[in-house]
Chain A
């Protein structure tokens, strides 16, 4: 009887240790010159494919496992409903919100702030001053607003924070109307552990 109990307990303990989760490490990367061009001419309806990006893959992807997608100044999340032409299908539970604060100091994620893309409003709002960028009418330059960090939920429930550094190829320090636009340079930090709501 006693031997059977010890045998059962050790069996349980053994199976428990095998199921102990392995914690992934947080990845911080810089992406440069991610091309996000539209195939339309200025003034025409925006069309063409979005450039899809995956945090876990650390690269541009073609399939349904994308987290965020770029086209011109619009950034989509992989969750919700399409709002315009030629958008990729939403295949995940992705969401996003804009947080105010310096990139390094934002380390916690607030689930209540997340929004998915909808027909009339994107999770990351478009329009000068409303999302991640400012458009200067006089110089015609798009600049990422200082102190705005984008928080994302990936297509499969992980989290990442993104700070956009430049909208122009090779990140010129003072872009002007002749700079090549629609090339993103951004930092991101990816939290690969499901359900962990911080970047520590």
Chain B
């Protein structure tokens, strides 16, 4: 299969290389273009310049993506202030924003949600950066526009659009450590009212092993292929229409499971997305958007256990979405947006007996009000009605006040939620090795009846509430932006998120044979708060510096109560004795660093924009698990040490259409083989780009 892909790709590359000679160079950005003018679509679901936004947002521009040389989304997102990637099941990488788990961050591509959360985490290394124009990150609860999952924020990946009236193409080939190949071919063509583009991206790696001498690698070999094609036509008075299709497929040779050693396995993942977008400017003040989207995600895992039995784990999820919205411009440049639509979501999965399908309808309204030149208030409200659980009303209000030309204040308050997922509702899973069984809330009552009738049930909590509510949050953000001089903006953002009704598994019964019965309940309350400072500086024409720092407190509220009630002790590792802990000894949630620092320096050598780009990322110490026998993370536990990871890239233009890049990742080679399983140490890569 691998050889087939490579030969097809080489053919495509040679084909597009011919076209390179006929295409002109791309539009060059001026070095001084402050990204503040970049148009952002995610904050309001319509275009709005970054500097006007009333909510905290961060843009990763095309230039930054290019300078970094990264090809997957998780790599570049890990360098943004206040954002870390966290490893998940089977080598996947999820994202954590303002201390909030990956389960609660909505990921979109061109406004359409990415599905396929395995155990709650969306693997961001699936998403290729190949034809990405920019990445928009909106922080804070945003369910007023986007509905479920936008509890901690939204990441929207905007793909390149075809601008110029001609035939254009680009390719690149990158080779790096661990036998990593990354190949891209891209074609675009525009003539009069019609445009078409196609992309194909192949990525493969041998993986790496942190601890040698055993049968398994830390990250196994894998390869994936992303292909997309899009076309559009502008009917002028009848509107514009765009069609898009994207396919992703990945093979992993073997996956690290939490089972005994000596087990062989492989895993395949595939994703198909189809979209139709229609836009019509009905009048000078009124526009209409109609979007239709169908996405399906499939993952198949095969394990051959020591008894040579084949075990298969299948996961298939699909989403069909329709979203229709009108935008009306009122007097004084204010806008009203009204939208409505429907989602149909289905799942088939091993350990889920029925094939559930969920339908939900939604409607939202947003008012973007410019009261005068200084004050802009954006307020929104969304109503989601679900057939299977409680309906949601999600409000949001945000405002920006420009006190002067160089000082402004913005604040936002919003509500977010996440519906219980299919796992929490329908799972029927038996772990024979460890002796427990997990039942989703919609299947547990029937399962208990069956256990009673077959005399297998020892006891069951009759008062257990099987009506699972959505997890919800409210978030508050307060920001100040000050231009010390036109080349030095500084931004300070304070945030607070209260998340409640968090769904956790808990014991609800026991079978006669000793197996514990678990189900899910709305149990927990979590609070995250902190402060983030960002600054960017252009000291001279050739140098750009960007930096940011975040301090974060993320705590479980019932843990705070337990500490306050003097119920928590820790065991001294030397004497074996237990001692009482104070409230201030509670550190917080696992996997969250108190301190985080990111620095991005670029030095441009000449007018061709050859440059050096250095990124220094510091991640403060964090805890992975309890180490002193109290099931909480406290001051006396053992922490994963804080560390620096620095990445350097060098970009050079060789000829009119050819440039090369050289990268060193993790220059100092920092490793923690026991705890940082997604960190292979220092690596290198070399990239050849034909007109990109």
Binding site for B on A (CB under 8 A): 42-46, 83-84, 100-104, 120, 126-130, 134, 136, 138-140, 143-148, 163, 165, 173-174
Contact = CB atoms under 8 A, between A and B. Distances in A.
Nearest to A149: B578
A46 B631 contact: no
A111 B158 CA distance: 68
Interface in B481-538: 507, 510, 512-516
A145 to B, nearest CB: 6
B309 to A, nearest CB: 16
A183 to B, nearest CB: 16
A143 B573 CA distance: 13
Given A100-B567, A120-B458, A147-B568, A163 B631 contact: no
B573 A134 contact: no
B579 interface: yes
A43 B432 contact: yes
Contacts of B626: 134, 136
Contacts of B577: 102-104
A139 B629 CA distance: 13
B514 A46 contact: yes
Contacts of B510: 126
Contacts of A147: 567-570, 578, 580, 630
Contact of B579 (A43, A102, A128, A165): A102
B675 to A, nearest CB: 13
Q: In this complex, which of A128, A144, A147 has the most chain B Cβ atoms within 10 angstroms of its Cβ? A: A147
Contact of B434 (A42, A127, A148): A42
Given A120-B458, A127-B516, A173-B573, A146 B578 contact: yes
The prevalent SS among residues of A at the interface is loop
Nearest to A143: B629
A46 B510 CA distance: 12
Contacts of A136: 625-626
Nearest to B430: A43
B513 A45 contact: yes
Interface of B: 258, 432-435, 458-459, 507, 510, 512-516, 567-571, 573, 576-580, 625-631
B434 A140 contact: yes
Given A102-B580, A134-B631, A139 B514 contact: no
Contacts of A42: 432-435
20 contacts: A42-B433, A42-B435, A43-B432, A43-B433, A43-B515, A44-B513, A45-B514, A46-B513, A101-B580, A102-B579, A127-B507, A127-B516, A136-B626, A143-B629, A145-B630, A146-B570, A146-B578, A146-B630, A165-B576, A174-B627
A56 to B, nearest CB: 25
Contact of A139 (B433, B435, B571, B625): B625
A102 to B, nearest CB: 5
Nearest to B630: A146
B435 A102 contact: no
A43 B578 contact: no
Nearest to A185: B576
A146 B434 contact: no
A195 B514 CA distance: 36
Closest 10 CB pairs of A and B: A147-B569, A45-B513, A43-B432, A146-B569, A146-B629, A146-B571, A46-B514, A146-B578, A147-B578, A102-B578
A139 B434 CA distance: 11
A43 B433 CA distance: 6
A88 B265 CA distance: 45
Nearest to B571: A146
A143 B569 CA distance: 13
B578 A163 contact: yes
A8 to B, nearest CB: 57
A119 to B, nearest CB: 9
A148 B630 CA distance: 10
Contacts of A102: 569, 577-580
Contacts of B515: 43
A145 B513 CA distance: 25
Contacts of B568: 147
In this complex, which of B570, B571, B625 has the most chain A Cβ atoms within 10 angstroms of its Cβ? B571
A152 B587 CA distance: 34
